[in-house]
Structure 1
Amino acid sequence: MDAQLVAFTGVAAGMVAMPGADFTVVVRNALASRRAGVACAVGVAGGLLVHTALAVAGLAAVLVAVPVLYRTLQIAGGAYVLYLGVRAVRGALRPQLAAQDPEGQPAGGTGRSLRQGFLTNVLNPKAPVLFLSLLPQFVPDGVPVLTRTFLLAAIVVVMALLWFPLVALLVDRLGQWLRRPRTTRAVEGVTGGALTALGVTLLAEPLAH
């Protein structure tokens, strides 16, 4: 048994399942509909695919080497997450918006949900840097680096494709309770507050420099 591969699988599962912007945006879309939640989940996995591909290609190193590019991506990602958070908070405060998606459009659009999941993940500049530093730790001596790194990247994407749709389906399963007007507004408020706080945090670091 490949002990390092088993260890990496556990690390990858923990990284993917850790609550954050990806988790929050999937939950919000799943409240609109099962289809929207699953589409958002697939979008998140697509973003992870981009990050892992960049790490495999070594392009993520460019973000570390070019501070201006890294800060630009930080600002773009923080601004997008903040935007989603503010929309969610507004939806919680205005009941008539409760059935809308995070961009204020009528719920149920799989294309919008897919895009939200993808952008929320792909605009996170810390992800490619994390993968760039993490993946090499699980490449044993004597093993073809490219093949092994592709395998590790595939594990991360598969984990995302399993976890986030599961979250969406669970939220949909609890939908009868979660979609009650009062509960929906509470969830909107909590997830919106979390996204807003995360967006502010993401923006604070690059703007402070």
Structure 2
Amino acid sequence: MDRQLIAFTGVAAGMVAMPGADFTVVVRNALVSRRAGVACALGIAGGLLVHTTLVVAGVAAVLVAVPALFRTLQLLGGAYVLYLGVRTLWALRGPVEEPEALSAAATHPVRQGFVTNALNPKVSLTFLSLLPQFVPAGSPALPRTLLLALIVIGLTLVWFPTVALLVDRLGGWLRRPRAARALRTGTGLALTVLGGALLLEPYVS
């Protein structure tokens, strides 16, 4: 039994399930429809593939060596998350159940998930710092790193679609005008705060 692999799976599961921009954008889309929520989750998994490729290629190390590049990506990611939050809050100025607002929120859910994850350089840095800790001494690094990265992607493909399905399952209650407005306000504020934090972090750290 590979104890390191089991330990990594537990750590990775906790990281994937931790609420953040990915979680919030999936909930936001799942409120529109199950299909939009699951599509957004697939976009997030696609973003993780980008980070996996960067780590395996060693490009992620450049983010550490070149602070300006890291901050540029961080600002782009923060701006996009902030845009999604403001857009969600802006849609609340009319009736929550307006078809126009719903269709606007569901626009390109795969792209929303992909961009939200792919433009977060911290994901690459997390891969870069965490994965080597679970590569046994003397083992080939590349196959093991790929395996660990695939575990993270697999957990993502389980967790976020599950979140989308649960939100859709509760859709009847969550889409009641009062509940829908409260939840969308919460997701909009969460995205706005997360985006603002990403934008401000380079200047306060």
Tell me, yes or no, if the aligned pair for 2:88 and 2:105 is still in contact at 8 Å. Answer: no
Distance in 2 (alpha carbons) for counterparts of 1:150 and 1:84: 32
Q: SS at the partner of 2:8?
A: helix
Work out whether 1:78 is the aligned partner of 2:78.
Answer: yes
Instruction: Give the counterpart letter for 2:156 in structure 1.
Output: A
Q: Counterpart in 1 of 2:18?
A: 18
Tell me, yes or no, if the aligned pair for 2:96 and 2:180 is still in contact at 8 Å. Answer: no
Residue 107 (structure 1) shift: 5.2
| Higher deviation after alignment, 44-53 or 76-85 | 44-53
Q: Counterpart in 2 of 1:51?
A: 51
Map Cα deviations across residues 41-92 of structure 1 (whole Å, 9 max, x no partner). Answer: 0001111111122112211001111111111101100000100111111123
Q: SS at the partner of 2:138?
A: coil
Work out whether 1:132 is the aligned partner of 2:128.
Answer: yes
Instruction: Give the counterpart letter for 2:125 in structure 1.
Output: V
Q: Counterpart in 2 of 1:184?
A: 180
Map Cα deviations across residues 164-207 of structure 1 (whole Å, 9 max, x no partner). Answer: 00000011100000111221111110011011111111000224
Tell me, yes or no, if the aligned pair for 1:98 and 1:184 is still in contact at 8 Å. Answer: no
Q: SS at the partner of 1:32?
A: coil
What percent of counterpart residues are identical?
Answer: 68
Work out whether 1:168 is the aligned partner of 2:193.
Answer: no
Unmatched tracts of structure 2, length 5 or more: none
Distance in 1 (alpha carbons) for counterparts of 2:97 and 2:84: 14
| Higher deviation after alignment, 55-64 or 10-19 | 55-64
Q: SS at the partner of 1:141?
A: coil
Map Cα deviations across residues 137-172 of structure 1 (whole Å, 9 max, x no partner). Answer: 000012111000000000000000000000000111
Q: SS at the partner of 2:92?
A: helix
Please tell me the root mean square deviation across aligned C-alpha atoms, in Å. 1.7
Aligned residues, how many? Answer: 205
Instruction: Give the counterpart letter for 1:75 in structure 2.
Output: L
Flag the 1:196–1:108 CA change in 2: closer, same or farther, 3 A.
closer
Tell me, yes or no, if the aligned pair for 1:135 and 1:149 is still in contact at 8 Å. Answer: yes
Work out whether 1:154 is the aligned partner of 2:127.
Answer: no
Unmatched tracts of structure 1, length 5 or more: none
Runs (4 or more) in structure 1 with deviation over 6 Å come to none
Instruction: Give the counterpart letter for 2:34 in structure 1.
Output: R
Q: Counterpart in 2 of 1:200?
A: 196
Q: SS at the partner of 1:154?
A: helix
Instruction: Give the counterpart letter for 1:117 in structure 2.
Output: G
TM-score with structure 1 length normalisation?
0.93
Distance in 2 (alpha carbons) for counterparts of 1:190 and 1:60: 33
Instruction: Give the counterpart letter for 2:84 in structure 1.
Output: L
Map Cα deviations across residues 6-64 of structure 1 (whole Å, 9 max, x no partner). Answer: 00000110010000010000011011111100000000111111112211221100111
Q: Counterpart in 1 of 2:61?
A: 61
Distance in 1 (alpha carbons) for counterparts of 2:100 and 2:8: 39
Distance in 2 (alpha carbons) for counterparts of 1:108 and 1:92: 15
Tell me, yes or no, if the aligned pair for 1:54 and 1:128 is still in contact at 8 Å. Answer: yes
